[in-house]
Amino acid sequence: MSPDTPDTTEVEPEMARRCPVCETVFTVAYPFSRQVFCSPTCKAANRNSKPARQTCPVCENEFTTTVARRRTYCSEECRVAARTSEDIRDRRVCLVCNGPFEALKSTRQIYCSPACRKDAERRRDQARDEDRARRLGEPASLPSWPELPPPSKTLSRPLSRQQVAAERDPLEPTATRNCPHCQQPVTIVALLATPEAARPSVPTTSPDIVPLRRTQ
C-alpha cells in the first residue's frame, strides 16, 4: 500500500488514528507508534501551514507568517525601503577594473559589471591552462588567430552560355566547348575520342606482301 493512501478498514481502536489534516482514519503498525499523519503529504502540509512570528527589520514590528512562505518584511513598502536604503548597501572595488561600485551587503558581488566578470573568468581559465601546461611540460598555447573578414554578400553566379560564347577568342576553333569544371576550351574530338584515335599516324614500314611480276 502506498504511504499516501490511508487505510480505512475497520481495525482495533488502539491501532486506528485520525489524520489532523484530512480527517482520514488510518492504521499504524503497532499500538505505541508515534505516527500522527496518514501520509507524508499531510505531514508536509501541516508543517508548511504552521504560523511563525517574525520581526520586520525596517519598522521593527512583529507579524505572522508561515514556514512555507517565510517573509522577511511585513509589507511591500518595507521591502522596497530596505532595498533602497543606504544602510544595506556597501561600496566595493571591482577586482578587474578597480572601479568603485555599490552592492547589497547580503550579496557576494565582486565585479562591477558582467563584462568584468567574463574578463576575470577568461583570465582564470588562461592561468589554469598555463599552469597545467607547465606541470605537464607542454608548450604554451599559441595566441588565437586573428579573425578573417566576413565574405562579401554578393555571391558569384556561374556564367551563362551566351556570356561564355561572347568571351571566347575569335581565333579559337568553333568546334570547341568549355570544360564544365575548369572552364578551359577543349575540342570536340578530344571529348569523343582518345588522343591516339584523334591523331592517326601513317605507317612507314614496308608491307609484308610482295607484288608479283608478270612474266613473258
Kindly state the cell numbers that stand for 7. 487505510
Q: Is the pLDDT of residue 133 over 70?
A: yes
**Amino acid 114: pLDDT:** 92
pLDDT at 174: 55
For the chain, the domains span 13-48, 50-85, 87-139
Q: Report how far apart the first and last C-alpha atoms of the chain are (Å, whole number).
A: 134
Return d(Cα 41, Cα 136) in angstroms, integer: 55
- The mean per-residue pLDDT over the stretch 166-179 comes to 61
**Number of other residues whose CB lies within 10 A of the CB of residue 164:** 14
Query: Residue 121: is its pLDDT beyond 90?
Result: yes
| pTM exceeds 0.75, yes or no | no
pLDDT digits (tens, 9 = 90+) for 201-212: 666 665 566 666
CB 39 within 8 A of CB 3: yes
- Which residues does 184 contact at the CB level (< 8 Å), separation at least 6? 178
Q: What's the whole-number mean pLDDT along residues 25-53?
A: 82
Count of helices and strands (H, E) across the chain = 6, 8
Model confidence at 123, pLDDT cuts 50, 70, 90, reads very high
Average pLDDT, the chain: 73
